[in-house]
Amino acid sequence: MVLLVSEFRPDSCVVAEVKASPNHGERKGGAKPDMIVMHYTGMRDSKLALEHLCSPMSDVSAHYVVMEDGHIVQCVPESRRAWHAGASSWAGETDINSCSIGIEIANPGHDYGYPDFPRRQTAAMIALCRSILTRHRIPADRVVAHSDVAPSRKKDPGEKFPWRLLHDSGIGLWVKPAPITAAGGRIFVLGDSDPEVKTLQTSLRRLGYGIETSGSYDSETMAVVAAFQRHYRPAKVDGIADVSTVATLGALLAAREPRSNGTPVKGAA
């Protein structure tokens, strides 16, 4: 059943406008949202991007769209399953749409110049996420990028996304990235096969990435490493597991486990 506009009130006081999308359904299995997935719109025109998310012909949607000037539009109620993640996985979950809230940030993306995210937009994103956290128990390591849950397909919201600023406001997982250095340590590249590659894959899987622990540094592993770098080590995104990447991954796992409230980490090995 598609909700009518008259039946749809915004979930948050930070929402400036409701523009209902017909593209949504029931959260499967009675799932409650325990993830936030960040996207960028990836279109030149943000108004056209919003229309696309609300078009019955597009088969895509998101719960929220944050415009460049900080104007927040809600398109799908949080109680409903929006169609934003596609084929994806995180911490063993494969129906990300059923367990997540999708936020689209108006930005043309990598194909159209990929500008910085404006300060007013970042402030609005923070306010929206903090509002969501008052209604849903969402662990820090389950505030993720579209590229995290679909690393072989997606780059958004990309390496310019202000993850550190969100973390400073109590949203998401972050540590200061380890310095990039050319000296010392093992570096893994495409085609390598080594027990230490399996250790790296296992660590990425512990964080949540859907990756096989084969011990071979294949194209899937390279895509996951690039996704990790976009989120957590954005100064250099090349898919190569250098010393900085591995050290940053280790620091993130140490910061996450154990959680101070004793909550077990979902999907942890």
Catalytic residues: 104
**29 to 32, 81, 97, 208: CA distances (angstroms):** 9, 11, 12, 21
Q: Which of 35, 38, 8 is nearest to 24 (CA)?
A: 8
Residues linked to residue 81 through DSSP beta bridges, in sequence order: 25
Total residue count of the chain as it appears in this document: 269
Rounded alpha-carbon distances, angstroms, from residue 258 to 167, 251, 266: 18, 13, 12
How is residue 109 written in tokens? 């993306």
Instruction: Phi first, then psi: give them for residue 216, nearest 5 degrees.
Output: -110, 130
Q: Give the C-alpha separation, 87 to 183, whole Å.
A: 38
Look at residue 102 and give its three-state secondary structure: strand
The helix/strand/coil state of 8 is: coil
Greatest distance between any 2 Cα atoms in the chain: 62
Q: How far is CA 243 from CA 16, 99, 180, 187, in A?
A: 45, 34, 7, 6
Report the alpha-carbon distance of residue 16 to residue 227 in Å, rounded: 32
